[in-house]
Amino acid sequence: MKCSECGKTLEPNAKFCPECGHKVAQPLPLEFAPLATALPICKIGFARVWLVKPGDDDYVSVKVACAIRNDTARDWQFVSVRMQVLDAGGCPIKELHDLVERPVKAGSDAVLNLECDGVTARQIGSDAPRVQVVIHAIAGVIEERELGEASIPSAPHQSVQLQPRAQWAAVRTHGLSLWRTPPDSDGDARVVLQSLMQNVLPMTMPKVELRVTIEDAAGRELITDEAGAALRAGSTDLFAASGYTKAAVLSGATAKMRARVYTPVAMAFAYNGAGQRHSDSARQSAKLRDPSPPPSVPPPTPVASGPAALAHGSAGPSQTPPSPEKVQAATEKFLAAVKDKVRSRSVFARPEIVKYKLENALASFAPGVEARDALVLIDSTVFGSAKDGLLVTASALYAKDLGAEPRSIPIRDVKDVKLASGMLVDMLRINGLDFFNSSGVDKVMPDFVEALATFCRDINS
């Protein structure tokens, strides 16, 4: 970070340049309201935001590498991204819009590399600690349908009126009009296909596309053209696709008409400034859910039950249940230890467990557990969905690693709690068996394992 006036290298948290006294620009964190949508909100993870100076002038390019996690039950076929570049004061400087047609399987990531040109270094502020960007993305599916086929009219401006063969749930096509112009001095005529397209949903369609293909009497392609644009919620717009060809070859020619609708199924929002957390709070506040039915979750697989559990020291069914007073005292001691020693963005202790994370964890690997019984949740996912992780209640432990089956063990069966650190992964081991891959939160796991072991001993003593 350098001073924009004299170029002296500044300390990371400097407010004034020690050389010339210039005030260092400080990013102004923005507060964003929750997204008002019925669509599920997916997570955007920033890998890197940086500046590139391609030439000797004052202009720079803002580059962003990010990924959007498809947390829905449907595969995506496109991602429409709108990115705003902000100055240090939070004011917009430049906007980029891009629509990428790319298959994104459910549960996978859409990796995006965005670049916004035409920004000056002075606008950004070379002494600003970082470039601020806001990204809003719409992901969805593409539905293409055949609207009809008709012969090109022989007379200029003689319109052929057609009714479309197909409709969409989101967009209505109100009639098709096909006509041609007289030949110009070069003998070329223009063929035009027009249609009124209406968006009947209370959300913007990122793109609606009308396409026409003209073939001569022998089936050879003469013209292909498409007209595409976003269609605002509840609006009706005129779409026209057209092209030029020799008027002499239009005799006996046929127009084939198709349309594509880009229907949203999910949204994503992120801000890389101090407000990065707002994408979480937006989803929590709006209580948004994937309208598709959730996948069936198999019951948790007991890690310590039956003969294997007894071999590792299970107390068995004859153990006397602990008193409510003992459970309450152990719980309070455990929560106090976690809040005091375990400080991580991936570890949440009651009553500060993020609601949507807890709901995801319960659905993914602890079905049947009441939300009020959750004491501590560890989110081991990259994008913060908490569909993989560790959940502690006063009666049992529940865990799920990426790509693995859920597992659980009653607290009464826990005899040994250890952290096994390896070269590649760190494992929380219960009764000598691997229970939870803690590699994503390894820095705080020693303190957490100590608190968990004490908690289990207090319950079972």
DSSP-derived 3-state class of residue 280:
helix
3-state secondary structure 289-308: CCCCCCCCCCCCEECCCHHH
pLDDT of 305: 35
Tell me the pTM: 0.55
Give the strand pairing for 301-302 and 407-410.
parallel
pLDDT of 131: 76
Task: Say if residues 37 and 26 touch (Cβ distance below 8 Å).
Answer: no
pLDDT of 22: 76
Q: Rounded mean pLDDT of the chain?
A: 81
- Amino acid identity, residue 73? A
Q: What is the DSSP letter of 35?
A: P
Whole-angstrom CA distances from 214 to 149, 163, 223 are 10, 18, 5
pLDDT of 126: 52
Mark the ranges of the chain whose per-residue pLDDT is less than 70. Answer: 1-2, 4, 12-13, 25-37, 54-56, 88, 125-130, 274-319, 422-425, 440-442
Domains, the chain, ordered by start:
41-141+266-286 (2.60.40.10), 143-261 (2.60.40), 301-460 (no CATH)
pLDDT of 306: 33
Residues 6+ apart with CB under 8 A from 174: 195, 196, 197, 198, 236
DSSP-derived 3-state class of residue 60:
strand
Alpha-carbon distance 9 to 3, whole Å? 6
